Amino acid sequence: MLSFAKMHGLGNDFMVVDGVSQQIYFTEGQIRKLGDRHRGIGFDQLLLIEAPQQPDVDFHYRIFNADGKEVEQCGNGARCLARFVRQMGLTWKHKIRVSTMKGIMDLQILRNGLVSVDMGVPMLEPEKIPLRYANQETHYQVTVDGISHQFGAVSMGNPHCVLTVDDVKTANVDAIGQALTQHTLFPEGANIGFMQIVERDEIRLRVFERGVGETQACGTGACASAVIGRLQHQMSQKVRVYLPGGHLHIDWPGDGQRLKMMGPAEFVFQGFIEL
């Protein structure tokens, strides 16, 4: 029997598994079955917490999308990880350091119950996103079904493409998101953000996630939108990003600086399942 918890960060939902005290290996097929919202647990991502792989971190953190593919990063998931390891007694620390496929993250559980995540320095060079463009630009161009779109691109440990729209309510998220996440410009795919700038410190955002589809919230997507908005001289350092599931606070001083994200993480239930 496998022990797990169901958690969410602003409606972006996860199956969280303790791989420290349980020995577990997931196949892609098992993850797809578990992620089925009618016949399984149902989730956007499965989070697997493992013992540290290096001496200066507390845990290793792996993320699998509902399609079974392992991905590099998940900001909402990182906040849930921090709450999970505390509640399950895997650590008593309030400041937690974890490694991922793309580096190290510092997490802090705050007194108000929110979780702060140091997301590191956003990567803007096309080869690091990765994006098939020769030079780094503030605005890139892509054509979908004969229509040209401007976008910004950044890696927050995973690739993001951010389009500015007049109104997120009327944005064609499914069609454009599906086309862009598989576009040849993005050799590893990308998460596609649709950003409506309300004020210099306020964004409304919808995200089509690679391997998942549109989600209630995307932590790295919120970070990416704040970065692109600031690079395009439309946003201030501290930004509230409103997603369908709620809002996050993003603080990014600018190019070459580390970005911090703050928001909630909630338990839904705990359970056991046979694989």
Q: Hunting for tokens 């911090």 — which residue is that?
A: 260
Banded pLDDT at 58 (limits 50, 70, 90): very high
State phi, psi for 199 to the nearest 5 degrees: -140, 175
| Known active-site residue 74 | yes
> What does the pLDDT read at residue 211?
87
Domains of the chain: 2-120+264-273 (3.10.310.10), 126-256 (3.10.310.10)
Q: Is 12 annotated as a binding residue?
A: yes
Q: Is 62 annotated as a binding residue?
A: no
Q: What share of residues in the chain are helix, strand, coil (percent, to 5)?
A: 20, 40, 40
> What does the pLDDT read at residue 113?
86
Candidate from 51-55, 221-225, 267-271 with smallest mean pLDDT? 51-55
Q: Is 135 annotated as a binding residue?
A: no
Q: Is 75 annotated as a binding residue?
A: yes
Give the mean pLDDT of the chain: 95
Q: Is 23 annotated as a binding residue?
A: no
Q: Is 45 annotated as a binding residue?
A: yes
Q: Is 91 annotated as a binding residue?
A: no
- Find the helix or strand (DSSP H, E) in which 31 lies: helix 28-35
> What does the pLDDT read at residue 275?
84
> What does the pLDDT read at residue 78?
95
CA–CA gap between residue 183 and residue 181 (Å, rounded): 6
Q: Is 232 annotated as a binding residue?
A: no
CA–CA gap between residue 24 and residue 17 (Å, rounded): 9
Question: For the chain, what percent of residues have pLDDT higher than 70?
Answer: 100
Catalytic residue (one of 74, 80, 161, 223) = 74
Banded pLDDT at 20 (limits 50, 70, 90): very high
Question: For 98-157, how does the pLDDT look when each residue is reduced to its tens digit (9 = 90+)?
Answer: 999 888 999 999 988 899 999 999 999 999 999 999 999 999 999 988 999 999 999 999
> What does the pLDDT read at residue 213?
94
**Overall average pLDDT of the 232-249 stretch:** 96
CA–CA gap between residue 1 and residue 18 (Å, rounded): 13
Banded pLDDT at 198 (limits 50, 70, 90): very high
> What does the pLDDT read at residue 41?
96
The residue type of 33 is K
| Known active-site residue 161 | no
> What does the pLDDT read at residue 103?
86
Catalytic residue (one of 80, 161, 218, 223) = 218
